A and B are shown apart, each in its own frame.
Chain A
Amino acid sequence: MASIIERVGSKTLNQLEYVGGFNIQLWAGLRAIGTSLPILGNRYRWKESVNQMLQIGVSALPMVGLMAICSGFILALQGASELRRFGAMHYVIDLVAVGFTRELGPLLTAIAVSGRSGSAFAAEIGSMRVTEEIDALRVMAFEPIEFVLAPKYLAALIMVPCLSIASNVCGIFAGGLFMFFSTHLAPSLYLQYVLSSIQLRDVVSGLIKSLAFATIIVNVGCLEGFRVQGGPDAVGRSTTAAVVKSTFLVIVADVLFTAIFYMMGMH
């Protein structure tokens, strides 16, 4: 009995320590992000931010685009199979356009970035821990958060919303393809319907979610890397943990944001 209580206590303390570490790192990252800005910040950090933007954003574009096209097609197909029975095929356009802008675009992007970049952050920083590079940075009077995390954070805050918009466009394009082949709806008319169904608040709510998802992915990935202790096997474990935890937290955050926007009347 005592050992069960001990284990529960120990696990609880570990979780609290993790949450505390996450919060400390988040605030330190937000404070340090200015150093990565162009002109105002350090030009080497900005250079690294641009490099990270290429890694997080540009390299991920084909994958995110393809995922969005497939999902857009699936959503349109599934929607059409039900809505056809009620003669409401035109609602497929609303379903795809609003569904992607508010929800699927940001979420699919976050899952793709979490798998690609979140794991890469954990592996990179974890390897730096194992090879004493993080200690070397500290003894050279550098702040690892500023040197390693801040450029990634800035890059993710810029690129994840951009990727989300690209994902929305691809998803809606897939819906258009479906409508063209199934109902011969002209592309110009489809675009007109899409523009009339999406409102600015849908786009804004999607972008706010993207910023939150970027924050989660970068901070979880980097925290898992910074917490690596031991050898290469620990790096492997941190990579897995980074993907699992950030995907889970992204979905939890999505639920929270959707509920908040719903209560605020934005949805």
Chain B
Amino acid sequence: MAVISVRDLVVEYDGRRVLDGLNLDIDEGETMVLLGGSGSGKSTLLRQLLGLELPHSGSVSVKGIDITRCLPADLKLVRRSMGVAFQSAALFNSFSVKENVALALREHTALVPSIIELVVWMKLAVVGLAEFGHLHPQELSGGMKKRAAVARALALDPEILVLDEPSAGLDPIVAAELDELILLLKRAFQMTVIVVTHDLPSAFRIADRIAMLHKGAFLAVGTKDEIRNSQLPRIRQFLDRVPGKMAEGPTVTASFEQYLQGQEITQ
């Protein structure tokens, strides 16, 4: 059963179409990886899934509630069932790591402080940061920040976990550790996981299904093997890391000539 349904989603910025009629179903308990190059529309799609922006047309339903048209109270209810770890971690710098994780618990639940402290410790232990709860975000390394963001996302035991570029800016070993953590969390908590990434090894390690985005449209949505064996030229180019035309000599020369001509005209 689909826990998230995207229907005919169109997003435009200043008349420029960024997402072009997307349709996608994400089933309960599956790990869906949104894969695509820079500027493909992954982050825009993610912001739509989180209800952070309104689309030009189309709908996004989470647990049967259309978050593009629902009341603010319903949107809050939907958001409480989602845990989000942003690409930049987005930890509150004025709070310690412990306070970051405790924030949603102390504000959205009636738990007493001692229980909150215990839950926070457990969440930090899951991501391997139990010893570092007293530190502030600026005292953590990049990988630790990402793990702290995951711990905060897990605070309310969400049904849906959303991770934006979890491996961006991390070395391969830390990135692989984070992949294993995602797999562990999925096994332990039976969550629906949505991961936005352009990191191929990570995507193929953690995904149940992959949705490949290119220029605001899905090139393919399928299992890991279906994507891996796809013969679509753009998918092959992405998977085989074939450089685009931008890096080809004649294109660079043509651009340079165009620039010089432009300079002459303006002078």
Contacts and interface: CB of A to CB of B under 8 A. Distances in A.
Interface of A: 42, 44, 131-133, 135-136, 138-142
Contacts of B82: 139
Given A133-B90, A141-B104, 19 more contacts: A44-B106, A131-B93, A132-B90, A135-B47, A135-B90, A136-B90, A136-B91, A136-B92, A138-B50, A138-B52, A139-B50, A139-B79, A139-B82, A139-B84, A140-B79, A140-B84, A140-B103, A140-B104, A141-B108
Q: Ordered nearest first, which 9 A-B pairs have the shortest CB separation?
A: A136-B90, A132-B90, A141-B79, A141-B76, A139-B84, A132-B86, A141-B80, A133-B90, A139-B50
Report whether over half of chain B's contact residues are helix, strand or loop; otherwise say mixed: mixed
B107 A133 contact: no
A121 to B, nearest CB: 14
A139 B156 CA distance: 12
27 contacts: A42-B107, A131-B88, A131-B93, A132-B88, A132-B90, A135-B47, A135-B50, A135-B52, A135-B86, A136-B84, A136-B86, A136-B90, A136-B91, A136-B92, A139-B50, A139-B51, A139-B79, A139-B82, A140-B84, A140-B103, A140-B104, A141-B76, A141-B77, A141-B79, A141-B80, A141-B104, A142-B107
Interface string B47-83: 1001110000000000000000000000011011010
A73 B209 CA distance: 75
A141 B80 CA distance: 6
Given A141-B76, A141-B80, A133 B103 contact: no
A264 to B, nearest CB: 40
Interface string B95-120: 00000000110111000000000000
Given A44-B106, A140-B103, A142-B107, A131 B90 contact: yes
A139 B104 CA distance: 11
B34 to A, nearest CB: 16
A131 B87 CA distance: 9
Interface residues of B, number: 22
B241 to A, nearest CB: 29
Contacts of B106: 44
Contacts of A142: 107
Nearest to A138: B52
Max chain B C-beta neighbours (<10 A), residue from A132, A133, A141: A141
Contacts of A135: 47, 50, 52, 86, 90
Contact of A44 (B51, B86, B87, B107): B107
A141 B73 CA distance: 9
Contacts of B86: 132, 135-136
Interface string B219-252: 0000000000000000000000000000000000
Nearest to B92: A133
A138 B52 CA distance: 8
A142 B107 CA distance: 9
A151 to B, nearest CB: 12
A140 B156 CA distance: 10
A139 B214 CA distance: 26
Nearest to A139: B84
Contacts of A133: 90-93
Max chain A C-beta neighbours (<10 A), residue from B50, B77, B84: B84
A166 to B, nearest CB: 28
Contacts of B84: 136, 139-140
Contacts of B52: 135, 138-139
A86 B231 CA distance: 99
A1 B193 CA distance: 55
Interface in B108-155: 108
A139 B88 CA distance: 15
